[in-house]
Chain A
């Protein structure tokens, strides 16, 4: 079963704009991770945020985590056409296997040149 839900399901923006994707989940987590997937390809790990962290940055990526609301957001600043892909959040549950990722359905981001 899916743990999280990404919102929106699809997002279309112009190059240079910022893109924000949200993720909600249901159970207590150890950490939350964001992945990128180009069409029909494998998943690429973007960033991991632990349950005791509130915000994390990596290059043009900013991730926030609100455990009280069981939600996370991924912000991509100054988007590029090459950022076009599907983005998934995935959780590792507290007390569960460290390596069982529970994914949402993803947000399809289209960045128009």
Chain B
């Protein structure tokens, strides 16, 4: 039990649609990151939020955006879905400080058809 909850668990969307994935972190975990994991690959860093501000971004286009809220919840939004967006999306949270354990949720499986 990591204390990080993601929803929905699975969803199917059509190409061109928009999707919002949600994450709820432990109290006090004011750093949250999102990762995309394609089948058979390792997770790829999308972006990170700290105190409701984006403070790091991976090699993902602007149609991937996020929000972090004061209640330790966060969202990942993806616009204009493409087939290659089909993947497991993982939310990870931690308290600030190098070397602190990062806790991952179970992920949201997104299939784009």
Contact = CB atoms under 8 A, between A and B. Distances in A.
A98 to B, nearest CB: 5
Interface residues of A, number: 27
A46 B104 CA distance: 12
Contacts of A105: 40-42
A98 B97 CA distance: 7
Interface residues on B, range: 20 to 34
Contacts of A103: 35, 42-44
B102 A99 contact: yes
Interface stretch (B14-22, B55-63, B68-76): B55-63
B105 interface: yes
B56 A99 contact: yes
A104 B103 CA distance: 18
A100 B56 contact: yes
Interface stretch (A12-20, A37-45, A59-67, A68-76): A37-45
A48 to B, nearest CB: 6
Interface of B: 2, 4, 6, 31, 33, 35, 40-45, 48, 55-56, 58-59, 88, 90, 92, 94, 96-99, 101-107, 109
Interface of A: 1-2, 30-31, 33, 35, 40-45, 48, 50, 88, 90, 92, 97-106
15 contacts: A31-B99, A40-B88, A42-B105, A44-B2, A88-B42, A90-B42, A97-B55, A98-B96, A99-B33, A100-B45, A100-B56, A101-B45, A103-B42, A103-B43, A103-B44
